[in-house]
Amino acid sequence: MHIDQNLLDLLAEQGINPEAQQITLMRHADKRYPLVKYIGTRALNLYQAVQPRRMPEGSLVASFFGHRPGHGLLLGVWRVQAVMPAGEAVRQGLTAGSFEPLHEEWTGYFHDLQETGFLAEQRLKLEIKWLGKELAWRRVLYPADAATARASYPVSIRQECAIPFGGLAGASLVMSELKIALQDAAWQQGLLGISAIYLITDERSGAHYIGSASGRQGLLSRWGNYAASGHGGNIRLMQLLADNPGRELDFRFTVLEVLPADLPKRAVILRESYWKIALGSRVFGLNLN
């Protein structure tokens, strides 16, 4: 199910007057970087902070992920807090944490972007139709044009989950996807009460962690703990996150084996131990026992 609207009216519903401020639209389609993984993080702010043209302080940036030709899914809405030459920002260390390499000779401007709460509940649900040439990935909506530009920014709001539930056999999610999935009724029902062996992969180092879920809440509760804390109470993961804040964004959660719901706890632990041996997660990974 889709609800068809236009972007400017949606922003107006959020209390944003397009005729009172500049709004820059960006459609990111560079497949080198997994942008969805970094939704809601400073790393995504930094990715789009350096631009060839200066954006006014106080103006807004609405960014989209080019998931298919001619369209984009909302990543978020930001406000420009301050602007300075890009090279100066690099020298001051303001770009530390960016997943795109930046250097002091970088031209253009660095924008201190503060993510707003505007349309936050529609991230990866609001889809814009990117009319005209796709190469024009950056478009500026000036206040003087707002009254006549509504037809140029059609959007659809997808009612289905941005991360559709396709069954446990194919369940493999990075942390940002997991947080979105856990808000969806289909995912909640699919994970509730499921006894399973799961794998957490640190996609930056390749290290593995093997865990198990059982009981009345099953995988829903176990993965929910990871989504809430990042580490789920596991000692090695807690140490990793203490030394590397934000590292949980590199965690991928995968169902290795679904077990019978009535399987005794001891048998679940035996299957967990089997997978730890098979994948070497005690010797080379993140399991302590």
* Lowest pLDDT segment from 43-47, 196-200, 235-239, 269-273: 43-47
Alpha-carbon distance of 81 to 109, in angstroms, equals 13
Per-residue confidence band for 1, with pLDDT thresholds at 50, 70 and 90: very low
* Lowest pLDDT segment from 79-83, 116-120, 130-134: 130-134
**Same structural domain for residues 38 and 116?**
yes
**Same structural domain for residues 9 and 152?**
yes
**Same structural domain for residues 247 and 148?**
no
Summarised one tens digit per residue, pLDDT across range 249-268 is: 899 999 999 999 999 999 99
**Same structural domain for residues 208 and 260?**
yes
Question: What range defines the domain where residue 6 resides?
Answer: 2-158
CB-CB contact of 199 with 251 (8 Å)? no
**Same structural domain for residues 59 and 125?**
yes
Backbone angles phi, psi at 245, to 5 degrees: -55, 135
> What pLDDT was estimated at residue 68?
87
State what percent of residues in the chain have pLDDT above 70. Answer: 98
**Is pLDDT at 159 greater than 80 in this prediction?**
no
**Is pLDDT at 38 greater than 90 in this prediction?**
no
Domains in the chain, number: 2
Per-residue confidence band for 3, with pLDDT thresholds at 50, 70 and 90: low
Is 167 or 134 the better-scoring residue by pLDDT?
167
Per-residue confidence band for 20, with pLDDT thresholds at 50, 70 and 90: confident
> What pLDDT was estimated at residue 2?
52
The beta strands (E) that lie in 34-146 are given as 50-51, 60-65, 71-85, 109-115, 126-129, 138-141
**289 domain residue, yes or no:** no
Backbone angles phi, psi at 211, to 5 degrees: -140, 175
Closest CA to 132 of 186, 69, 40: 69
**184 domain residue, yes or no:** yes
Closest CA to 254 of 217, 229, 216, 226: 226
**189 domain residue, yes or no:** yes
**Same structural domain for residues 119 and 183?**
no
Per-residue confidence band for 40, with pLDDT thresholds at 50, 70 and 90: confident
Region 14-21: mean pLDDT is 86
**284 domain residue, yes or no:** no
